[in-house]
Amino acid sequence: MVKKFYNIEGIIRNGFKLSRDYETLDFSFGKLRDDAICSLAKSRSVKQLKRLIISGQKLTAVSAQALAESDYLPNLESLKLYKNKIGDEGAKYLAESKKLPNLKTIRLAWNEIGPEGARSIAESQNLENLTALVLSENSIGDDGLKYLAESENLGNLELMDLRKNQITDLGAEALSKSKCLPKLQTIDLSDNSLTAKGFNALAEFKIFNLIRARLSEDGTKLDLSNLGIGDVECRCIAECEELKDLTHLYLELNKITDKGIELLAKGSFLSHLTLLSLDRNFIGDAGFIHIIKSETFQNIQVLMVENNAISDEGVKVLSEEECMKNLLRLYIEENNTTEEGVELLADSEHLQQLEYPEFEREEEIDEEEEDEEEFDDVEDIDDIDEEEELDDKEYEDE
């Protein structure tokens, strides 16, 4: 086969002009083959390169080998080879390279990579700085995912895209048991053969990693707000022993229903909670009642349940049940409560300690009336004194 001649230096210069810097080259617009990539890998002009994009060029393992063995790509941080044909062999070349020490992102979607390619990446000791791995539209399967899940070399990985990879519930369950990917927070397994069982396993994996990433150093505060958390994740939170010292839990702006609250309420590791924020979820009266009656939540001092479809029915239970005696502040605005519900809270004997909402209770009204009566008495005394002074003056005039 006759090799095609490429003016690689001219191609590189044009690429830098298009990217407007000397750190990025995007060759997705032209037609390059393995010969061109081999020439590029030998060029001194790419020594400052940090981002290299070569998509849709039908490149084979030959190109991957050339890049992996290049002496001029020590600064490369991101490599994107979408829609090529490097296969397992090409993935292995990249994984075993010691000449790409700063590589943080590898995007190898649509590259005919199977389980062995995933295995090469998982076993590589040269990819410890990797934070993002994209292998979508390949065929790594359950075995490939297991290799990645059990890897002791990908501890810094934060994102993993494995869409359309013939993965089933078995792979998702293997991932859910992994403790080797502590920083992984974004994982895409869409367009695989997962059932509810597999998606639940994936949710469990995500929430445990989020807990480890977001729990305060002293273990007392955890913010999981606005993360799309649902009832499955609530079960994981309730069963997480790492939260045994937790005092502040923020779960607002999620998708939690009364079922999730029931799971949290039965958790044995959340008994030290003093603040629970659940604003803008879907807990309803049933979820609110689970909180009220939960032995786990009896130390709560601040409860935030705004915009949760709570009605007077839930408020009535709080006002009648002799629970939550430590509650000091209740944020319950933007629900379906009425003035009658507010009065129930105000009149409840075991909620007299509430600082918020502020109520005008009967005792306070009685005190105001007593103050007014005392004021009237003072006025009467003043009138008497004035009359006596007038009488004395008249007597002196006589």
The span from the CA of 331 to the CA of 66, in Å, is 62
Q: Is it the case that residue 81 has pLDDT exceeding 60?
A: yes
Residue 283 has pLDDT above 60, yes or no: yes
Q: What CA–CA distance (Å, rounded) separates 181 from 142?
A: 17
Worst-scoring range by mean pLDDT, 16-20, 96-100, 220-224, 302-306?
16-20
Residue 224 token pair: 């999981």
- What lies within 8 Å, CB to CB, of 191 at 6+ separation is 163, 164
Over the stretch 288-298, which tens digit does the pLDDT of each residue have?
999 999 999 99
pLDDT band (50, 70, 90) for residue 358: confident
What is residue 393's predicted lDDT score, i.e. its pLDDT?
52
What does the alpha-carbon distance between residue 68 and residue 269 come to, in Å, rounded to a whole number?
Answer: 49
Q: Given this model, what pLDDT does residue 20 score? A: 81
Q: What is the tens place of the pLDDT at every residue in 326-352?
A: 999 999 999 999 999 999 999 999 899
The pLDDT of residue 303 = 98
CB atoms within 10 A of CB 313: 15
Question: Residue 29 has what pLDDT?
Answer: 77
Tell me: pLDDT of 387 over 70. no
Return d(Cα 119, Cα 150) in angstroms, integer: 10
Residue 362's pLDDT band, with cuts at 50, 70 and 90, is: low
Instruction: Give residue-wise pLDDT tens across range 47-77.
Output: 999 999 999 999 999 999 999 999 999 999 9
Confidence of residue 11 (pLDDT cuts 50, 70, 90): confident
Q: Is pLDDT above 50 for 321?
A: yes
Cα–Cα dist 177/182, whole Å? 11
pLDDT score, position 31: 86
Task: Assess whether pLDDT exceeds 80 at residue 41.
Answer: yes
pLDDT band at 266 (very low <50, low <70, confident <90, very high): very high
| CA atoms of 66 and 43, how far apart (whole Å) | 11
Q: What percent of the chain has pLDDT over 70?
A: 89
Residues 6+ apart with CB under 8 A from 264: 234, 237, 238, 270, 290, 294, 296
Per CATH, domain 217-372 is 3.40.190.10: no
Band (pLDDT 50/70/90 cuts) for residue 270 is very high
Per-residue model confidence (pLDDT) at position 363: 54
What tokens were used for 255? Answer: 């998708």
Burial degree of 144 (CB within 10 A; 0-12, 13-18, 19+): buried
Q: pTM, whole model, 2 decimals? A: 0.77
pLDDT for res 1: 44
Tokens of 332: 């319950």
Mean pLDDT of the chain: 91
pLDDT tens-digit readout, 136-185 = 999 999 999 999 999 999 999 999 999 999 999 999 999 999 999 999 98
Query: How many C-beta atoms surround the C-beta of residue 350 within 10 A?
Result: 15
Residue pLDDT, tens place only, 233-257: 999 999 999 999 999 999 999 999 9
Grouping H, G, I as helix, E, B as strand and the rest as coil, residue 192 is coil
